[in-house]
Amino acid sequence: MSRRMSSELYRNDISNCANLPVDWKQLNGKTIAVSGATGMIGTFLIDVLMYKNDEADFQCDVIAIGRSALRAKERFPYFNDEHFHFEQLDVSVPDAHPSDSADVVFHLASSTHPKAYALEPIKTITSNVIGLENLLKYSLHSSDLQKNKTQSGHNNFVFASSVEVYGQNRGDVERFDERYCGYIDSNTLRAGYPESKRLGEALCQAYLEQYGVRFVLPRIARTYGPTLHDDDSKALSQFIHKGLAGEDIVLKSDGTQRYSFAYVGDTVSGLLYCLLNGKAGEAYNIADCASDCELRDLAALVARNCGVNMRFELPDEVESKGYSTATLALMDGSKLSDLGWEAQYSIQQGIERTLSMMRANKTENSSM
């Protein structure tokens, strides 16, 4: 997986994020902890931070938190770098936290795909609640926290929330802004993910009020990109894996669901804008209308780019338990845009970049 760094397209994506017009001084000289480090978004974020370290006037230390040191070694080519530190840790275990303190925390660890929701429903909840509280407590040791409580300081905690906190569209809006609250049937297995994200947001508010933890809540659209894992069972991820394998793209519904999507580079740039430009205690949608798409159109886009067919098939029982029932989940990203954020990639551009990079990596792997 670390061969992604040899891709010119990927290096361009990383460079674009590392050169965002934000106040990087807030992170210079800091230690930054990232949970879910080997995940799709965590990997890209850490790549950006380590790339930024190559600049003469910038230096940060990264504490990458994950459950598998083996996966981290495969994932990060700079595993032994003096400014990179891997902490093998399951943050959802009570009282778990890294051994060294950090100035800034990104809590990205979470089950984010249907099979995980169905097969690991307890961990889906605990990573968003117990894992979150562990890291909120951990952030209390931040060297900047006391200063932040007594003056207008910088944000020091990012809890990656989700479009799923909005629930099902009640039919009264086209797009969800940050104040919207839709319906979630809480007495279902599938409710574990969105309800735990909602509870996590409330927990962050409590830590801001009681302890002064300055957090922000990026609400993330359905994200994709070249750092996705082989076992990712989200619909778009399955389209990509099937297409690259030369197999038919399989739609497990009528495909009329319309969602907001985001290329991983845009999601990570959104996280950085939230942290460095956002207001403590606020939520921000990371979404752009150029990446709104019906699921069947998305399947057709991948199929076209991979030279395969598209067909329909009912999901199996395990998968169906994990699928979202939302049919219209478009996000209004204007609040984040007001902070200066702009998406760099439309859905077509993002899909084409993803397929190009993953195809090249697959070819390179097969030739070894």
**Structural domains in the chain?**
2-221+262-288+331-345 (3.40.50.720)
Q: How confident is residue 112, by pLDDT bands cut at 50, 70 and 90?
A: low
Q: Which of 73-82, 140-149, 160-169, 303-312 has the lowest mean pLDDT?
A: 140-149
Within 10 A of 316 (CB to CB), how many other CB atoms are there? 11
Q: How confident is residue 163, by pLDDT bands cut at 50, 70 and 90?
A: very high
- What radius of gyration do the chain's Cα atoms show? 19
Q: How confident is residue 366, by pLDDT bands cut at 50, 70 and 90?
A: low
Query: At residue 151, does pLDDT exceed 50?
Result: no
Count helices and strands (H / E) in the chain.
14, 14
pLDDT (average), residues 313-318: 68
For 273-291, the pLDDT digits (tens) are 999 999 999 999 999 999 9
If we measure between CA atoms, which residue out of 272, 218, 227 comes closest to residue 18?
272
Query: At residue 160, does pLDDT exceed 60?
Result: yes
Contact 288, 333 (CB under 8 A): yes
If we measure between CA atoms, which residue out of 338, 36, 350, 329 comes closest to residue 163?
329
The pLDDT, as a whole number, for residue 118 is: 73
Structural tokens at position 102: 């950090």
Residues 6+ apart with CB under 8 A from 210: none
For 1-33, the pLDDT digits (tens) are 468 989 999 999 999 999 999 999 999 999 999
Query: At residue 242, does pLDDT exceed 90?
Result: yes
Q: Which of 65-79, 156-170, 316-330 has the lowest mean pLDDT?
A: 316-330
